[in-house]
Amino acid sequence: MPSFFSETQKRLVYHYDAETLWIETWGQNSLRVRAVKNAEMPYTSGALKTDWALLPPRPCEPVITINDEEASIRNGKIELRINRFGQIIVFNEKGELLLEEYVRNTRDIKGRNCSALMIDGREFKPKGSDDYALKVRFECRNPSEKIYGLGQYQQPFLNLKGLDLELAQRNSQASVPFALSSLGYGFLWNNPAVGRVCFGRNITTWEAYSTKYMDYWITAGDTPAEIDEAYARATGTVPMLPDYGTGFWQCKLRYQTQDEILEVAREYKKRGLPVSVIVVDFFHWTCQGDWKFDPQYWPDPEAMTRELKSMGIELMVSIWPTVDRRSENYTEMLEKGYLIRSERGSRTDMDFAGNVTFYDATNAGARDYVWEKVKKNYYNKGIKTFWLDVAEPEYQVYDFDNYRYYAGSNLTIGNIYPCMYARTFFDGMKKEGQTEIINLIRCAWAGAQRYGALVWSGDIHSGFESFRNQFAAGLNMGIAGIPWWTTDIGGFHGADIGDPAFHELLIRWFQWGCFCPIMRLHGDRSPHKPPLGTTGGGMIGSGAENEVWSFTGEVYKICEKYLFLREKLRPYIKEQMRAAHEKGTPVIRPLFYDFPGDGQAWETEDEYMFGPDYLVAPILYQGKTGRQVYLPAGTHWTDCWSGKQYDGGITINAPAPLDTIPIYSRNKTSEPFA
């Protein structure tokens, strides 16, 4: 009988008909699985050599066993077996089943699962080129399995089991395809193609609509922390957060002039309120793609930056990847191939305030070109942190098949764009000797964290329903390896600064923001202000005031309370940022992360841990002045406001008047917050 298996370079190889499959160790307790039906494995050599999200692995010695019917590869706590018909089954070190490919055909070994359905676990459907539509299916043998991670989606469920999710980037949606299972494994779909994943009750299906290969990474671990840390070692961790990042960030749509932003900063200082970062938002420039201040409204950026620094405030400046046809750089970038191309129609990918396309961040030459412009016009003027907006990129129409990058079609590699956008600035800043690099960005894919990506949840609605969506999104982003995460406190769209209902939402969101990785106030508030002019930085209007004193006295008093609480917490937050840098530990995480042995912790979806010490239970519904809070077993808890102490393993009724968010400290008897 011919052998379908071989061992090459410590790699288990399976070959049947046109398919070649590689299985190899990729870090401790982890395996990488790749398959193709073309002549060779793509992206392993040449100019586009890439492992996508994965870093080069640390050496591991696999144990590979081969016979005529089956082969296996074991690496620490994980073992993968593949039979002669190509079906993959994965076990942990205890022999417990983790994953099993869904196979329903008559080729299955020893007649098991024989079926007339003729469905393979790995389905490659040709697209008339060397690309395939790919589906990979896994059985769901355990109906109680829970799934977390996958990035940021505008939906309220923390547990993703039963959900159907698009693997594509959109404004307020960030596809980061790493899943953590309650069964004790982590799974990275290491493929930047546009697609989908469905975590059905019977089958989990991963899809890539157009790709040359199958590529995924899987790890086994005894706890969620062990699994997440293995994933962090495989894909990288964030840099160390600069000290200013732990404070309060002031932002709005949009400060229109240099004088206006300085007046806001001076007012914060006059009132004695803590503020660490202030932001110059979009259309401060002469033209999209010029990447420089409009001198009519921003006459002396260096002086502005110096004054802010003298007040202890870091300046962040908005950058867009858009290039207007009227930009001074458009023709040169077009000639050099530095712009994204359209397969059909004109090269206008967005028509916001001009006909614009996007620079091609998958092209190293384009990344260098954009950075040199930014370096000359911003970085050399003292600005060391950037707001990388429109990072998906935000197409006017999300026809993913209509755009082509240097690295391939958008359908095939498009989800990588926000990573390469972040890398543009990370590489440039690192080259200048900067080590603590952080840039705010509106989207991410797996591995973006290692490029200093602080992700925010996009242009979301101002409402309690949206608030609940962000709560789930932030926790799942942390599980998916993106520990730097934030929202527009109060939401972005649809709020009037005089509306009492918005005041309640803002207060509850501000309280929660105090216990988020980054505390940042932003939004497009009503009533709006008109544009100052008709060109450059004057052609776009502004939202209403959005500083903490812009609302009622009650709102101001409560915001002031949490601004100073954030200041008090900054040394603690810095400790959590170090854990994120060193181990990939999420700053905010579901209760099960710290209490994996507590079954109720896995069922609780409206509380979380802020680092290892604080349990946070925000008020997520309008009009509520109290809520039930589950305190995990195995430890003692102290109410951070009253000092009252509780044994764990119980559910309590927590009071939450408008100025209070329920917070409990773990094994702490220190002075309460109040």
Q: Which two tokens stand for residue 144?
A: 């109680």
Give pLDDT tens digits for 385-416. Answer: 999 999 999 999 999 999 999 999 999 999 99
Structure letter (DSSP) for residue 246:
G
496 has catalytic annotation: no
Cβ neighbours of 184 (radius 10 Å): 22
pLDDT score for 164 = 98
Is the pTM higher than 0.85? The answer reads yes
When pLDDT is cut at 50, 70 and 90, the band that residue 128 belongs to is confident
Query: Tell me, what amino acid is at 121?
Result: G
Alpha-carbon Rg for the chain, nearest whole angstrom, is 26
Query: Angle between the 500-514 and 464-479 helix axes, to the nearest 10 degrees?
Result: 20
* DSSP class per residue in 330-354: HHHHHHHT-B-EESSS-S-SB-TTS
Which of 12-26, 111-125, 439-453, 463-477 bottoms out in mean pLDDT, i.e. has the lowest? 111-125
Query: Tell me, what amino acid is at 130?
Result: D
Residue 129 has pLDDT above 90, yes or no: no
Across 318-343, b (16+ Cβ under 10 Å) vs e yields bbbbbbbbebebbeebeeeebbbbbe
Decide: helix, strand or coil at residue 465.
helix
Same fold, 5-235 and 590-666: yes
Give pLDDT tens digits for 222-276. Answer: 999 999 999 999 999 999 999 999 999 999 999 999 999 999 999 999 999 999 9
Q: Which CATH class is domain 5-235?
A: mainly beta
pLDDT score for 184 = 98
459 has catalytic annotation: yes
Give pLDDT tens digits for 488-544. Answer: 999 999 999 999 999 999 999 999 999 999 999 999 999 999 999 999 999 999 999
pLDDT score for 107 = 60
Give pLDDT tens digits for 70-124. Answer: 999 999 999 999 999 999 999 999 999 999 999 988 665 554 556 788 888 999 9
Among 459, 488, 524, 607, the active-site one is 459
Rounded Cα distance between 551 and 582, Å, is 40
* DSSP class per residue in 128-167: SSS-EEEEEEEE---TT--EEEEEE-SS--SS-TT-EEEE
Which of 94-108, 204-218, 301-315 bottoms out in mean pLDDT, i.e. has the lowest? 94-108
Strand partners, 616: 608, 663
Structure letter (DSSP) for residue 85:
T
pLDDT score for 115 = 76
Among 294, 392, 594, 606, the active-site one is 392
Rounded (10°) CA dihedral 588, 594, 596, 598: -100
pLDDT score for 114 = 66
pLDDT score for 399 = 95
Q: Which CATH number is correct for 590-666, 2.60.40.1180, 3.40.50.150, 1.10.10.60, 1.10.510.10? A: 2.60.40.1180
Query: Tell me, what amino acid is at 90?
Result: V
Tell me the average pLDDT across 610-629: 98
Among 24, 100, 290, 389, the active-site one is 389
Hey, where are the domains in the chain? Answer: 5-235, 243-583, 590-666
CB 656 within 8 A of CB 662: yes
Length of the chain: 674
pLDDT score for 106 = 64
Residue 290 has pLDDT above 70, yes or no: yes
pLDDT score for 670 = 61
| CATH code for the structural domain at 243-583 | 3.20.20.80
Rounded Cα distance between 259 and 459, Å, is 26
When pLDDT is cut at 50, 70 and 90, the band that residue 46 belongs to is confident
pLDDT score for 601 = 98
- The residues, any chain, with a CB within 8 Å of residue 220's CB and separated by 6 or more, are 29, 30, 76, 77, 78, 90, 92, 93, 98, 184, 185, 227
